[in-house]
Structure 1
Amino acid sequence: MNQIGIDETELTNARVVLADQVLHGAVAMAGGVITDIGPASHRGTDLNGDYLIPGLVELHTDHLETHYAPRPKVRWNPVAAVQAHDAQIAASGITTVFDAIRVGIDEHADMRMEELRILADAVTAGVTAGRLRAEHLIHLRCEVSAPDCLESFEAIMDHPLVRLASLMDHAPGQRQFASPDAYKIYYQGKLKMSDQALAEFIARRSFESSTYADKHRLALAELSASRGIALASHDDATRAHVEEAKRLGIRIAEFPTTFEAAEASRAAGMAILMGGPNVVRGGSHSGNVSARDLAAAGLLDILSSDYIPFSMLQSAFCLAGEVPGISLPQAINMVTKNPADAAGLSDRGEIAIGKRADLVHLRIEDGIPIVLTVWRQGRRVI
C-alpha cells in the first residue's frame, strides 16, 4: 500500500473480497475511484477484520412500486416513495439499482399508464437533486400481452434513465404459470375472484397473449436496439422461448423456470439471472426450478433482489456457505461484477484499481450479513 494521499481514504484490516480471491488487506480510494489495494496497515479506518465487498448492482427490483402504491387505491407522494425506497436499497448494500417500472396494464392492475411517468420523474428529480444514496436507473418490465404495452413503452422509452427492458408474459399455461393450479392460487388469492370470474379472467388473458404478445416482443426489441436499451427475457420455460429471445437480441435471461431453459440460455451466451428470495427460501414460490440447483450446475450468473432488497446480499452468502463448489468471490460476483457487466457498466462491480469506489463494509452475525457502512463513489451514504 502506497503512502496515503491528502484527499485519499484508506480502509484497512478487512477481508477484501476481490473478483477471484479474499485478501486480508486494505483499500484506498480518492476522487470517487479505488486507487490502491494492498496489505493491511496501521493507517486509515480499521474495519476490524470485517468483510469489504463491492457495492451491489441490482438489475430487477419491483420494490419502488410498493412504496408508491402500498395498498389498493392508495398512492403515496412519489418523491417520498423514492426516498424511502432508496434508503432501503442503500441499507441493503446496493449502490446501483435499476428500478423496475411496469409497462402494460391489464384491467385489474391498480396502476394507470400515466403513473409510469410520475414514478420515473420522481426518480429523476432525486437524481438531479443529488439526494439519493444509490445510483438509480430504470428498468421497464413490459407485459407484452397487455393491449397498451407498446403505447406505454413508446411514451417512456426516451427517458434518460431507461437502460434496461424485460419482455414478459404472465398469461396462464406458460412460462411462470405453466401450471394451471399455480396460476389459480396466485391470481385468485391476489384478486379475490370467484371461480367464474377467474375463468373469465383466464380466457381474456389467454386471448390477449395470443393477439398481442408476439408482435409486441418484436416491436419492443427493435425500439430497444435503436436506443441502446439492454434487453432481458423473462420466465423462459422452453428451448423455443430461448431461441426466440436470441433472435430478438436478448442478453439476459431473467428467472428461467426450467433446467431446459437455463441450459439453452447458457448455450445462447445469455447471462442467467435468478431471484435472491428463491435462494434464501430454498425454492421458487411458483414451484419452478430452484436457483440453488442452477447454481450448483453452473447455470447461474446474476442474483436479483426481486421483491426483497436485502435478499441479494443474503442469497450471495447463502450460496457461498451452502452450495458446494461456489466460493465467496464467485457468489459476490453474482451481485456485483456479473450484473454490472451484463448491463454494460464496466466502471463498477469489483474492487480493482480504477473502478468506482462503491464499497460495502459488513460482518456476519447469526448467519446474516449485517451492512455497517456503504460508500458510493467514495462518499459514505450509510
Structure 2
Amino acid sequence: MSSYLPPMRLTGARVLRDGQMQQRTVAIEEGRVSKGPFPEVNLAGYYVLPGIIDLHGDAFERHMAPRPTASFPMQTGLRGTDRDAAANGVTTAYLAQSWSWQGGHRSPEFAETFLAAHRSYRAQMLTDLRVQIRCETHTIDTRTRLLAAIETYGIDYVIFNNHLDEALELADKSPDQIAHWASKHGRSAAEHMALVHAAQDQYRDVPRHLCKLAEAFDRLGVTYGSHDDGDGTTRETYSLIGAKVCEFPTARAPAALAKAVGDPVLMGAPNVVRGGSQSGNISALDLISAGLCDALVSDYYYPALAQAAFYLVDHGVLPLEKAWAMISNTPAEIMRWGNRGVIDYGKLADLAIVNAETRVIEATICKGRITHLMGEVARRFALMGSEQMPMAVGPATPKHPPAHVPDRDIAPGHLPAE
C-alpha cells in the first residue's frame, strides 16, 4: 500500500481554480487539497489542473486482449489500463463493459468474471477505476442476473444500447463484416445471425423490461442513460424513463432534444482530435460549437482527453478553463460527486500537472498519491523544500539539460472509500 504524499505546496504554476486560470499555490495534505506553509515544489512553467474524470472508455479491452486471439489475464489487463490512464492525467475512469446477447467478451458470463477481477484488483489501484455496464436492450432473460451483479459489485452507472439494427444492416449490405464479427466470438455467420433474430424476437417486451430496470436503478441509486441515440424520439423515450445521460448521439437532433430537457450530452474526445467521427456520425466539434455537448470521454484512447481540451483552446472554440471542465468538473457534476473535479479546499487531491509549453502530462496525483511521474517534474519533486531553483521550462534550452527521468512505477496503493 502506498502512502499519501507528505504535506507540500505546489508553487509557481498556473492553476485552474474557481473556474479561472490563476497564479496560485496548491497545498496537499493527507490526500486532500489543504492550507499550510508546507515544503514547496516549484512548478513554474506548468499548469496544475483537476484530474481528468473519464465517464466512458473501452481501451481496457486492448490491454486484456492486444489481439483478438491473444488474451492475457484480466489482472494484467487492469494493471496496464491503470497505468495507461494515470500516464494521461486520468484520476477517475469508468471501464465500459458490455452486457449483451452477442456473447464472447460482451456476454453476461464474461462481464461477471470481469467484475470479480475488478473487485480483486481494487486494492492495487492507482487510478480510481470503476465499471460502467453497457446493457443491450434486448436481454430480457438476464434482468434478474444483471440486477444481482449490480448489487453484488456496487455498479453505479449503466448505459442502454441496441446493436440489433447495426447487425441487421450489416447482414444485408456487408455479410463479410458479419462473418468477421461472428468469428471474433467463435461462431459462424449463421450462428451469429440466429442470435440476432432471437434477440429481435423480444422487441414487444423490451419497453417493459427497460422500465423495470429503470425502477430498480432508481432504487439502487444507479445513474443511467443511452448510447448512440439516432434521433430525437429515441432520446426522448429514454429520457422519459429516467435514462438521462445522452452518450454519443449520432446526429444533432438527439443532442438538441437532450439539451432542451436538461439531459447531459457526452461525446468522444478522439472525435474532436481527429476532426470527426471514425464511424461517420456527427462531429463532436460541431456539437460543442453549438453548445450541445457537455462532456468528453476517452471512448477508446486515453491520450485524446487532454489533447481534445487543448485542441478546443488552440482552435478558439473554448478557453482552457471551460475546455478542461469538459473532462473534469462537468463529469463530476453529472455523477453528482462533490469531492472531485475541481481544485478546492477539502476536495480530493486529484491533479494533472501539465508542461505549459509541450502540453505533456508529466505528473498525475490521485487522492494524494503519485500515480505518474516523469521528466522535469520528477526532478523538481526530488528537490522539494530545497533552495535550488528549478531549470526554466519554455523556449530556452538549458546548456546542460538534465538526464532523462523515465516514467516511474509507484508502489500500488489502496484507494480509500469515499
With normalisation by structure 2, the TM-score equals 0.79
294-303 vs 152-161, greater mean Cα deviation: 152-161
Q: Is the 8 A contact 2:26 2:33 kept in 1?
A: yes
Q: 1:74–1:208: structure 2 CA closer, same or farther, 3 Å change rule?
A: farther
> Greater RCO between the two (CA within 8 Å, min separation 6)?
2
| Structure 2 gaps, min length 5 | 373-418
Aligned residue in 1 for 2:163: 170
Offset of 1:150 from its aligned partner? 2.2
Which of 223, 229, 236 aligns to 2:229? It is 236
* 1: CA distance, partners of 2:337 / 2:157: 12
Aligned residue in 2 for 1:116: 111
% identical equivalent positions: 29
145-154 vs 343-352, greater mean Cα deviation: 145-154
Aligned residue in 2 for 1:379: 369
Aligned residue in 2 for 1:54: 50
Which of 125, 135, 139 aligns to 1:132? It is 125
Q: Which amino acid aligns with 2:112?
A: R
Corresponding residue SS for 1:356: coil
265-274 vs 113-122, greater mean Cα deviation: 113-122
Offset of 1:199 from its aligned partner? 11
Aligned residue in 2 for 1:94: 90
Corresponding residue SS for 1:59: strand
Q: Is the 8 A contact 1:374 1:380 kept in 2?
A: yes
Q: Is the 8 A contact 2:101 2:195 kept in 1?
A: no
Offset of 1:15 from its aligned partner? 1.4
Q: 1:76–1:319: structure 2 CA closer, same or farther, 3 Å change rule?
A: same
Corresponding residue SS for 1:278: helix
Which of 352, 355, 369 aligns to 1:363? It is 355
* 1: CA distance, partners of 2:326 / 2:198: 34
Corresponding residue SS for 2:292: coil
Q: Which amino acid aligns with 2:85?
A: I
Offset of 1:24 from its aligned partner? 2.0
Structure possessing the higher radius of gyration over alpha carbons? 2
* 1: CA distance, partners of 2:231 / 2:370: 45
Offset of 1:113 from its aligned partner? 2.5
Q: Is the 8 A contact 1:56 1:96 kept in 2?
A: yes
With normalisation by structure 1, the TM-score equals 0.86
Higher strand fraction: Structure 1 or Structure 2? 1
1:190-269 equivalences under 5 Å are 190-191=181-182, 200=193, 204=197, 207-208=200-201, 210-211=203-204, 213-269=206-262
CA offset digits 1:122-168 (Å, max 9, x no partner) = 221222x2x21111222111011245552541341103441100011
Q: Which amino acid aligns with 2:365?
A: W
Corresponding residue SS for 2:266: strand
Offset of 1:82 from its aligned partner? 1.2
1:26 paired to 2:25: yes
1:69 paired to 2:68: no
Q: Which amino acid aligns with 1:119?
A: F
Q: Is the 8 A contact 2:9 2:38 kept in 1?
A: no
Offset of 1:181 from its aligned partner? 8.8
Q: 1:184–1:60: structure 2 CA closer, same or farther, 3 Å change rule?
A: farther
Once superposed, what is the RMSD of the aligned Cα atoms? 3.2
Q: Which amino acid aligns with 1:121?
A: A
* 2: CA distance, partners of 1:187 / 1:335: 35
Q: Which amino acid aligns with 2:14?
A: R
4+ residue runs of structure 1 moved beyond 6 angstroms? 177-186
Aligned length: 366
CA offset digits 1:238-260 (Å, max 9, x no partner) = 22112112211123110111111
